[in-house]
């Protein structure tokens, strides 16, 4: 599933090129998770504004009265090309502009392209309402994390994945951040002390920052709008390394399952 680093990498790969372009046509394929919410022809002739990101959503202003909220779902990707190929069976949305065509390809069709009058108006406001802080927001500190985790019985990894405390710490990045912070992923979130929350907040920011520098993670099919793969997976210290030696202590990395997601950790370096 594309997480914050993949979505931000995608945004950076086409945002400058599409900004200021005029919409020439809109093509819809098979239905996505939610309907577009407007007649496609109403977008034609409108100019595209600066593309922004909130969590795993992209916001693309189109014209002066709203914009498109995009989500890549479980397996989606965006491509931006001057002369794209004929749409294949998994190409479900084309925004044809004077600068090129932005195409959403999504084999599982859990992604979405939704019209909204503004970010603070429905449906955008409703979809974004439960999101936590951005990891690079100065307000995301150990104190914030400790306050938000207080009283929670759920495991710390599950609390990170929920996205209501901080956005972007998806499965891979949560595993890596917890390893860096020395915290067992099964530890009840409410038991994490203030000093450990400080270390975890720093680790989350560092891991996500590194992932951004490396263009995200490509395990199967993620590509940015240029078609480039991510490289973070080559630097993972525990994720996907079950049975291999921990890079810090050589203890074999273990795998367990939490909430139907694989969790990787070092039983020696990460303590409850």
- Per domain, the residue ranges of the chain are 4-128, 142-265
DSSP conformational letter for 164: S
Q: What is the mean pLDDT, run by run of 10 residues, along the chain of 272 residues?
A: 88 96 97 96 98 97 96 92 92 97 95 97 96 97 97 97 94 96 98 98 96 80 66 89 97 96 97 94
Give the model confidence (pLDDT) of 148-165 as tens digits. Answer: 999 999 999 999 999 999
Active-site residue numbers?
A: 2-3, 56, 261
Residue 173 Rama label (left phi>0; alpha psi -120 to 50; beta): alpha
Give the model confidence (pLDDT) of 211-224 as tens digits. Answer: 999 988 866 566 65
Q: Which fold has domain 142-265?
A: Helicase, Ruva Protein; domain 3 (1.10.8)
State residue 226's pLDDT score.
Answer: 66
**52-54 vs 91-97, strand pairing mode:** unpaired
State residue 220's pLDDT score.
Answer: 59
CATH architecture of 4-128: Alpha-Beta Barrel (3.20)
Contact 217, 6 (CB under 8 A): yes
Residue 215 Rama label (left phi>0; alpha psi -120 to 50; beta): left
State residue 215's pLDDT score.
Answer: 86
Structure tokens at 171: 């499965």
State residue 125's pLDDT score.
Answer: 97
State residue 234's pLDDT score.
Answer: 86
State residue 232's pLDDT score.
Answer: 85
């Amino acid at each position: 599933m594309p997480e914050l680093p993949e979505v931000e990498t995608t945004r950076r790969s086409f945002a400058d090129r599409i900004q200021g372009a005029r919409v020439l046509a809109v093509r819809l394929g098979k239905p996505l998770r939610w309907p577009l919410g407007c007649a496609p022809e109403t977008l034609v002739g409108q100019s595209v504004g600066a593309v922004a990101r909130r969590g795993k959503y992209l916001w693309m202003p189109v014209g002066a009265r709203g914009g498109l909220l995009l989500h890549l779902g479980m397996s989606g990707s965006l491509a931006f090309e001057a002369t794209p190929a004929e749409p294949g069976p998994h190409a479900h949305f084309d925004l044809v502009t004077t600068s090129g065509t932005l195409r959403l390809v999504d084999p599982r069709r859990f992604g979405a392209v939704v019209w909204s009058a503004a970010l603070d108006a429905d449906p955008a406001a409703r979809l974004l309402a439960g999101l936590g802080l951005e990891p690079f927001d100065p307000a995301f500190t150990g104190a914030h994390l400790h306050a938000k985790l207080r009283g929670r019985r759920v495991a710390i990894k599950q609390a990170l994945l929920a996205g209501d405390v901080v956005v972007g710490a998806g499965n891979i990045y949560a595993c890596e951040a917890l390893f860096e912070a020395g915290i067992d992923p099964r530890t009840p979130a409410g038991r994490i002390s203030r000093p450990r929350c400080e270390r975890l907040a720093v680790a989350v920011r560092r891991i996500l920052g590194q992932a951004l520098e490396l263009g995200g993670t490509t395990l199967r099919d993620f590509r940015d709008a240029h078609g480039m793969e991510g490289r973070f997976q080559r630097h993972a210290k525990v994720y996907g390394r079950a049975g291999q030696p921990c890079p810090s202590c050589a203890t074999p990395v273990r795998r367990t399952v939490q909430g139907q997601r694989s969790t990787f950790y070092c039983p020696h370096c990460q303590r409850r």
